[in-house]
Structures are given as C-alpha cells and as structure tokens.
C-alpha cells in the first residue's frame, strides 16, 4: 500500500475488544506465543500498534485478543514521515509494533529506533517467498518482516476512457480530457519519481538537473490536477467525479472489486515497487506481545485470509498457495516479473531530500 508517502495524515484511535468466537474466525493461533515470555515495562495484556489505515482488520484483531487475552489498540497513519516525526518527537513510546515502508526501515535503523528481530522467537519465517527473506532494504530481515507489497500506477474508468493509459505521459497527452478529473498522490517521492521515470531517469535520481526537469514537467500538468490526494479520491472515482487516479495497487484492487469498470495499469516505463513491513521499536513496552502478533501474521492461512479481505499482495509463499486462482492471477496484485523488472524501490535520499522537498513545495504553492 511508500516514501514521503500517503502524506495527508490523520490519526484516529480505536480500541479493539474481543468479540468473536474461535469458531467464527476459523483461525488457530497454535503456539504463536511460544518462547515469548513477557518482557518490557508496559502491560502484558495490551499491545499498541501503529499502522496504515487500510491495514486495520477488526476480525483479525479480535481473533488475536480472543486467543491470547491481549487487547490491541491501534493508531493509524497515512504518511511514513508523519510516523517517523512522531517517534522522533517521543510520541511513539507506547507502540510495540509499527508498519513502516521499506525505505523507511533504513531511515529508522539509521536513527537507532529499531530493535533487532530475534529469529529464534519466530514461527513461520520459512513461509515467506525467498526474495522477502533477504530483501535489499533489510538484509536477512534483521530489523523487519514484510507484511504486504505492491506497485504504484494509474486507475482509470474504462467506460469513459476508451483509449487506456499505457504510460505516465498519458496524463500530459490527455490533459484537456482529464482536466480537474484526475488526482496524483500527495507524495513527493512518488509523484516526482513517476515523472523522472517518464523522462528516462531513475525514480531515485540524485541529479538536481533531472529533479528540476521533473518539477518543470509537473508544473505544466498542475492546472489540470483536481488534487494531490492519497485517500479521498477513492469515493470520488466511485461516484464518477474522477476519470483517473494515481494510486497504490492495493487501493486499486479494492476499487476494481467494487466496480470492475475501473482498471489498473502499471506504466510501461516503470513505476515504484514497495513493501510495507512490521518492526519492533527499541522502546516497545510489550515485545512479547509483538512477537505473538508477528507469529500470527506469519501463519499461511492467516496471510491468505488477510490478502483476500484487504486486497493486498502477500509476501507469504505458503499463504499465496492457498489463494483462489483468480487472485493469484490478478496482475494488479501480482504483476509479471517482466513488469517488476522495470520498477524501482524508493531509497533514502539523504541530504537530497531537501532538494526534493523544495521543488515539491514550489509545485504545491
């Protein structure tokens, strides 16, 4: 479901109490708490998590509470940077589980915010696809475990746009037709990265001349953009107010399931490839509960159910094998390797982040 990502942030607290019976959910936690004697200064019967809004799943949270006696309280965010800022300001001490995106894991490690994952306390690590057992952003899953993955692309109304978009340049070529009926993500690295890719550069360009060229290109498109938005576009496109939206593949899959006329395209020149992960902060007050939660998510049947219900691509090989074939063959969720070969993972920019931010601020001004 990512970078300076999902930038328009909102924080809402929801306490999830146990309400579902074991028979109603069908899952078994079987030993997920094995070897996880409680450690930490917080309450062992509470687990605070900090996650993306689309990953809150009441059935799963209630199941966990029912079977462990641990009540989960979740705060949600829509921006990696808002999440990081909260932690750095000291506001994250209550969280035992956090869901940063891949590039943000690197930044959090650099800032000494994460505890190393003790693999001896994990049950089901072997269920992951091999590429997620040693990812480039966190070798050997030293600090993180993958939760979901996906791409960034364009969702469009196939009934009203008879000639479907094939690449990012479609937005500029059809600016008049799309005038005030398209949205881009409210995300500097995604929007600048897509434009850089269209121009033949890297999503992670470190050349200010190239970054400026992307800014100038976007400045030409800005008058036709209805909004830079990460979430509100979903209701608008379903209502017919939008023809096209730049979005994450997980959100596109959800909208397409609600109305099949909406189709998702990964631009031919390439896009971003992202993984949202699970980490344990060094300040986690309930590390034992965190490992129990992670072990639940590593179970194949749980991973499969989450993938089906939340419309997300699972990194869990054993879980993927339990998915119905139509979901396995859904190229919006599970693109071909040839498509993925054209995509790039976002990487931290260091001092150049200020350059990206400067041009982004000028664009939005």
3 belongs to a structural domain: no
Give pLDDT, residue 348: 86
Residue 4 lies in a domain: no
Residue 47 sits in the same domain as residue 123: yes
Say yes or no: 112 and 44 in one domain.
yes
Question: Residue 25 has what pLDDT?
Answer: 41
Structural domains of the chain, count = 2
pLDDT at residue number 2: 46
- 91 with 207, same domain: the answer is no
Q: Are residues 178 and 72 in the same domain?
A: no
Q: What is the pLDDT of residue 43?
A: 62
Closest by alpha carbon to 83, among 59, 55, 121, 117?
55
In a domain, 283, yes or no: yes
Same domain? For 98 and 234 the reply is no
The residues, any chain, with a CB within 8 Å of residue 351's CB and separated by 6 or more, are none
**Residue 258 sits in a domain of what CATH number?**
3.40.190.10
**Residue-level length of the chain:** 365
In a shared domain, residues 284 and 322: yes
The reply to whether 64 and 107 lie within a common domain is: yes
> What pLDDT sits at residue 35?
42
7, part of any domain: no
Mind listing the pLDDT tens digit for each residue in 4-36?
A: 344 333 333 333 323 333 333 444 444 454 344
Torsion of CA 184, 185, 191, 197, to 10 degrees: -80
Residues 25 and 141 in one domain: yes
Q: 296 with 237, same domain?
A: no
Residue 5 lies in a domain: no
Cβ–Cβ under 8 Å, residues 73 and 47 = yes
Burial 180-211 (b: 16+ CB within 10 A, else e): ebbbbbbbbbbbbbbbbbbeebebbbeeeebb
DSSP 8-state class, residue 350: G
Is residue 130, in this structure, part of any structural domain at all? yes
Give the H or E element holding residue 304. Answer: helix 300-310
Q: Is residue 8 part of a domain?
A: no
Owner of token pair 């004697």 = 37
Dist CA 207 CA 13 (whole Å)? 41
Q: Which range of residues forms the domain containing residue 67?
A: 13-149+274-333
Q: Which residues of the chain have pLDDT under 50?
A: 1-31, 33-41
Q: Do 324 and 175 fall within a single domain? A: no
Same domain, 95 and 212: no
DSSP string, 15-77: EE-----HHHH----TTTTTT----SSS-TTEEEEEEEGGG--HHHHHHHHHHH-PEEEEEEE
Same structural domain for residues 125 and 159?
no
Query: 303 lies in a domain?
Result: yes
The whole-angstrom separation of Cα 85 and Cα 75 is 15
Q: Which stretches does DSSP call E strand in 270-315?
A: 273-279
Phi/psi region, residue 69 (left: phi>0; alpha: psi -120 to 50; beta: rest), is: left
């Amino acid at each position: 479901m990512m970078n300076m990502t999902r930038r328009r942030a909102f924080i809402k607290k929801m306490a999830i109490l146990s309400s579902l019976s074991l028979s109603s959910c069908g899952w078994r936690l079987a030993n997920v708490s094995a070897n996880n004697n409680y450690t930490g200064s917080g309450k062992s019967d509470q687990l605070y998590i900090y996650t993306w809004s689309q990953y809150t799943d009441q059935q799963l949270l209630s199941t966990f509470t029912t079977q462990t006696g641990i009540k989960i309280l979740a705060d949600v965010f829509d921006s990696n940077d808002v999440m990081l800022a909260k932690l750095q300001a000291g506001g994250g001490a209550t969280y035992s589980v956090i869901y940063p995106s891949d590039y943000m894991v690197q930044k959090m490690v650099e800032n000494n915010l994460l505890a190393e994952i003790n693999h001896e306390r994990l049950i089901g690590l072997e269920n992951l696809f091999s590429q997620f057992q040693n990812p480039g952003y966190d070798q050997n899953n030293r600090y993180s475990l993958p939760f979901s993955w996906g791409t960034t692309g364009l969702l469009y109304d196939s009934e009203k746009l008879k000639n479907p978009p094939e690449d990012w340049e479609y937005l500029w070529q059809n600016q008049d037709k799309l005038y005030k009926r398209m949205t881009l993500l409210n995300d500097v690295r995604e929007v600048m990265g897509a434009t850089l890719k269209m121009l033949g550069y890297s999503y992670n360009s470190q050349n200010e001349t190239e970054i400026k060229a992307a800014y100038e290109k976007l400045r030409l498109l800005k008058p036709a953009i209805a909004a830079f938005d990460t979430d509100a576009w979903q209701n608008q496109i379903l209502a017919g107010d939008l023809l096209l939206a730049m979005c994450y593949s997980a959100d596109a899959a959800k909208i397409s399931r609600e109305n099949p006329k909406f189709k998702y395209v990964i631009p031919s020149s390439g896009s971003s490839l992202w993984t949202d992960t699970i980490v344990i902060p060094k300040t986690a007050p309930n590390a034992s509960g965190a490992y129990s939660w992670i072990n639940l998510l590593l179970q194949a049947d749980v991973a499969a159910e989450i993938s089906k219900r939340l419309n997300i691509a699972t990194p869990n090989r054993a879980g993927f094998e339990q998915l119905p074939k139509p979901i396995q063959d859904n190229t919006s969720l599970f693109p071909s390797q040839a498509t993925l070969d054209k995509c790039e993972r976002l990487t931290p920019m260091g001092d150049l982040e200020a350059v990206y931010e400067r041009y982004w601020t000028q664009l939005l001004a």
